[in-house]
Amino acid sequence: MAAGKDIHDSERDKVWSRLMAAAQTGDQHAYARLLHDVVPYVRAIIRSHHRTADRIEDIVQDVLLTVHRVRHTYDPSRPFVPWIAAIARRRSIDGLRRWRRTDMAELFDQQAYETFADPRAKRESETSDRVAGLGDAIAALPAKQRQAVEMLKLREMSLAEASGKSGKSIAALKVNVHRAIKALRARLGKEVR
Amino acid sequence: METTEQLITRLAAQARPVRRLRPPMVRAVLWLVGMGGVGGVAIALFSNLDVTIGRLSEPLLLAELIGILGTAIGAVIAAFYLSVPGRSSRWGLVPIPFFVLWMASSGDNCYQDWLVHGTDGWALGESFACFRFILMTGVPIALSLLLILRRAHPLAPIRVAAIAGLGVAAMAAFLLQFFHTFDITFLDLAVHLAAGAMVAAGSALVGLSRRRGGFMPPARPM
């Protein structure tokens, strides 16, 4: 049984290796087939680190983008599986770090929206209602910052997706969204006061 | 929101022929031979080669030179291997035995010097000149190595740049031996190590800056 699995794995590796070698010469069909074929394998690796479906899919896409970027580093005389597995594991761990940072920065407290026992809280709530509105504040942002906020915060796209869609680098998107949040905080905070 | 299927279609449509990287050992040897050539010319033209060759009869100094050169070659080879996905992380262990030999022989050399000269063994020799030498030779060598390693878009850039930095620091220390024709004190050794650590840390910082869209671009498309 184990021997059968080994033969299957070795055959699969040979097929993937051939497809990648063809992809390196510019064969788009071979490349598309390879990417299709490796997705379940990549997803299985990522699943060992992540639970939610959207995060898993986000990292699968991150892995595919990385494969595309580093496809010239694959040596067809070597097995393909360790190469793709190393990329999948690294991106999966990078994803863990990224979300840990995000989770630490974000708070979720349902009651915080509903507590009005403290009159000061109610007053603040009413004051915030008077604020011209978040939409206006976002509309007033510079175009790059507005696009970053809309994609990453309002439409909840992943960095990889937003990068692919906008053509902007991940680093640039992070900087723009950071500046936008800072600008919104400054503007809304001023109006509340 | 782009689905995985749509992403695959987009990436496949962008597939152009790529120039494969040569195997890490070939790239490492080519780079080392190139650097060896430049270093050899510099040694032949500017160093006090006769004195250095005369000092090679001292077994401790010979062990130190082997340790330094082994660290340099081992770390550079390791950096080339670690920059490519799927290669064993054990390549990072290659320079360690040589590094231990370097530190042990160098330390023993200082100890002997201290026994002979007593507290003078702690004095600062030509340390500042050596410090400057290691930095001035290390920085251009590090830049050339990091530029070549950058082609692989390493998945773990900090680790790759740090081990490359160790190799470069050792290479600069090796060259220094041909211009540094006297026994070193403990303080000299500390200054050499500090200069080497600065080269290695500087290289690691270059690896770090890659994450922020700096010197080494991220593996994901920009």
Neighbours of A177 (CB within 10 A): 21
Using 50, 70 and 90 to split pLDDT, how confident is the model at B219? very low
Task: Give the largest Cα separation in chain A, rounded.
Answer: 72
Block residue for tokens 């040694």: B43
Residue of B3, B5, B6, B7 to mutate, interface with A, max A Cβ within 10 Å: B7
- Can you read off the two tokens belonging to residue A173? 């998107």
**pLDDT over 60 at B30, yes or no:** yes
pLDDT digits (tens, 9 = 90+) for A67-121: 999 999 999 999 999 999 999 999 999 888 888 777 666 665 555 555 555 656 5
CB contact under 8 A, A35 and B21: no
Q: Is A186 left (phi over 0), alpha (psi -120 to 50) or beta?
A: alpha
A-to-B residue pairs, Cβ atoms closer than 8 angstroms: 116
Tell me B14's DSSP state: T
Rounded distance between C-alpha atoms, residue B34 and residue B28, angstroms: 10
Q: What is the pLDDT of residues B123-162, one digit of tens each?
A: 555 567 777 787 888 888 988 998 899 888 888 888 898 8
Tell me the mean pLDDT in the region B168-174. Answer: 88
User: Phi and psi (nearest 5°) for A158?
Assistant: -75, 165
Q: Within chain A, which residue ranges are assigned CATH 1.10.1740.10?
A: 2-105
pLDDT at B125: 57
Say if CB A55 and CB A160 are below 8 A apart: no
Nearest CA in chain B to A157: B1
For the segment B50-104, what is each residue's pLDDT rounded down to a tens digit?
777 777 778 888 888 899 999 999 999 999 999 999 999 999 999 999 999 988 8
Fold classified for A110-192: Arc Repressor Mutant, subunit A (1.10.10)
Exposure class string for B198-207: b at 16+ Cβ within 10 A, else e = bbbebbbbbb
- Would you state the pLDDT for residue B17? 94
The pLDDT, as a whole number, for residue B213 is: 44
For residue A147, the model assigns a pLDDT of 86
Q: Give the pLDDT confidence score for residue B95 in this predicted structure.
A: 95
Per-residue pLDDT, A193: 44
Contacts of A32 in chain B (CB under 8 A): 8-9, 12
Task: Give the integer Cα–Cα distance in Å for B193 and B145.
Answer: 20
Q: DSSP letter at A111?
A: G
Residues of A in contact with B220 (CB under 8 A): 62, 65-66, 69, 160, 163, 170
Q: How far is A15 from chain B (nearest CA, A)?
A: 17
B chain contacts of residue A71, beta-carbon cutoff 8 Å:
18
Q: How far apart are CA B162 and CA A94, in angstroms?
A: 19
pLDDT recorded at residue B215 = 45
| Residue B190 Cα distances to A161, B107, B125, B149, angstroms | 49, 10, 11, 29
Domain with CATH 1.10.10.10 in chain A: 110-192
Orientation of helix A170-192 relative to helix A119-130, angle to 10°: 110
pLDDT by residue (tens digit) across A142-191?
A: 888 888 888 888 878 888 888 888 888 888 888 888 888 888 888 776 65
Taking the CA of residue A47 and the nearest CA in chain B, the distance in Å comes to: 16
Instruction: Give the residue on B whose Cα is nearest the Cα of A64.
Output: B8
Residues in chain B: 222
Mean pLDDT value across residues A50-71: 92
Sign, CA dihedral A61-B205-B179-B53, equals: negative
Class of domain A2-105: mainly alpha
ipTM of this predicted complex? 0.77
